[in-house]
Structure 1
Amino acid sequence: MPMSFNLNVIEEFRANGGRVTGPFEGGNLLLLTTTGARSGRPHTVPLGYVRDHGLLLVVASAAGAPEHPQWYRNLLTHPVVRVELGTGTFDAIAVPAEGARRERLFAAVVRAAPGYGDYQTYTERELPVVVLERPAAPPGQPLEVRSLADKLLETHGWLRAQLRDVRREARSHTPGRPAGLGLQLRQHCLAFCAGLTHHHTGEDSAIFPALARSHPELAGVLDRLGAQHREIGRITEELVALLAAVEITEPDRLLLELDRMSAELEAHLDHEEEALLPALAGIPFPPARPAADTR
């Protein structure tokens, strides 16, 4: 679709709580924001969607064009996407379906929206069916985030849950399948690595320097935590490199790296919580806005 047409649809969608006129009027429409595979910039497109047994599905049809659309290539590099649906907005992990699951889901899509079947006849490429997974909140996290300590526990709970899921998936893919690790495992691994890197970058650039100023007695602890960040970062880079060659990666090596990261990360999170939660409990989250100057 022309960019100007997409921009008009996006503006109308956001201005009218997800309702639009024109060719999409009355249809199931969402906005998907991906991160550019090369540019790193956000890229938003309007897409039709289908629900099937609780799954939220989009198809990289490009109206039957010979090449995958850019938004699909983006999510293969950056699986964490932003979804706008009606008046709601949430983050999701974009996971292309494979094999028999893809066939079943594509059949469900065509039953709901037969035009996708027509698009498939226009091209030799297999149209990808992408599941937009909204990660469930891990058990035991704070019901309401009121302080930076609550936010830290919420983030740590997400990281622990994601790593457990990734390790479980890795083990389920390995028996008798030396090269069949799958897109699902790859996407979840990349999403976890991106979330972990984002969390540590935020701590290193903002939270730790602020704590060092307000709690100088924590200087040694913060230095040790920063060193742990760097070590975990090296493991993360090695894991991402393995995922880039996922079809030739030995499953045992991937599991070894996941186990190494898990041990390092669990020890780090436990240490961080023990050392920092008392100091963070007194810092409100989100931070209060500074009062307006009325002079």
Structure 2
Amino acid sequence: MAETIEDSPVGWVASHVERYLATDGADGGRYHGYDALLITTRGRRTGKLRRTALIYGRDGDRYLLVASNGGAARHPAWYLNLCADPEVQVQVGADRFRGRTRTATAEERPRLWQVMTGVFPTYARYQQGTDREIPVVVVEPVPTDVAP
């Protein structure tokens, strides 16, 4: 029996996830003009699978995410979850795959930050509004023939 996945408790995000799933991303794969994906992490305290929708960018074969939390002082829960367990499930449109995540290194972050502020310029404003450095997350697809 497959594990239950809990969607974001934030109403508008849960609605976005529901539409995305129902249409394989035909409705929700673009969100207000930005590319969006679904990411499922394992809860760091509960061990439950948690799913949310996020804007993404690309760097070659890798996907890029920004743990902005709208510029809040705290990291978003999804980011804390993947710091505890970097193995995730990703859906981009109808394509579903396993991924391994990591926070961009200090050396690569400036370039990847530029990529992501090019994708979604509001990230720059979010960074200005918080004292924490907003992480850029790199998601690398895991080949299906490789064990986690």
Matched, 1:65 2:72: yes
Aligned pairs for 1:1-295 (under 5 A) are 3-20=10-27, 24-136=31-143, 154=145, 158=146, 195=148
* Structure number having the greater helix percentage: 1
Would you say how many aligned residue pairs link Structure 1 and Structure 2?
140
The amino acid of 2:51's aligned partner reads: T
Partner Cα separation in structure 1 for residue 85 and residue 62 of structure 2: 20
Structure 2 contact 62–141 (Cα < 8 Å) conserved: no
Q: Which has the higher strand share?
A: 2
- Bigger radius of gyration among the two: 1
How far residue 95 of structure 1 moved from its aligned partner, in angstroms, is 1.0
| Partner-residue secondary structure (3-state), 1:28 | strand
CA contact (8 A) 1:19 1:25 kept: no
* 1:2 positional shift: 6.2
CA–CA separation in structure 2 for the residues paired with 1:112 and 1:128: 15
Question: Residues 66-96 of structure 1, C-alpha deviation per residue, up to 9 Å, x if partnerless?
Answer: 0000000000111100001101111100111
The CA deviation string for residues 172-191 of structure 1, in whole angstroms up to 9 with x for no partner, is xxxxxxxxxxxxxxxxxxxx
SS in 2 for 1:111: helix
- Secondary structure of 2:142's counterpart equals coil
Deviation of 1:108 (Å):
1.5
- Does the CA contact (< 8 Å) of 1:120 and 1:127 recur in 2? yes
TM-score calculated relative to the size of structure 1:
0.45
1:58 partner SS? strand
1:31 is displaced (CA, Å) by 0.6
SS at match of 2:74: coil
Taking the aligned partners of 2:142 and 2:71, their CA distance within structure 1 comes to: 30
Identity %: 35
Q: Which amino acid aligns with 2:11?
A: S
Q: Which runs of 4+ in 1 moved over 6 A?
A: none
Q: Contact 2:39/2:52 (CA < 8 Å) preserved in 1?
A: yes
Indicate the structure whose relative CO is greater, using CA pairs within 8 Å and at least 6 residues apart.
2
Q: Supply the distance in 1 between the matched residues of 2:119 and 2:24 (Cα, whole angstroms).
A: 23
In structure 1, the gaps of 5 or more residues are 138-153, 160-194, 196-295
- Alignment root-mean-square deviation, CA: 1.9
Q: Return the offset for 1:26.
A: 3.3
Q: Give the Cα separation in 2 of the matches to 1:78 and 1:112.
A: 26
Aligned partners of 1:3, 1:56: CA distance in 2, in Å?
Answer: 24
Query: What do residues 27-54 of structure 1 show as CA deviations (whole Å, max 9, x unaligned)?
Result: 2000110000010001111100011233
CA distance in 1, matches of 2:46, 2:137: 22
TM-score normalised by structure 2 residue count = 0.86
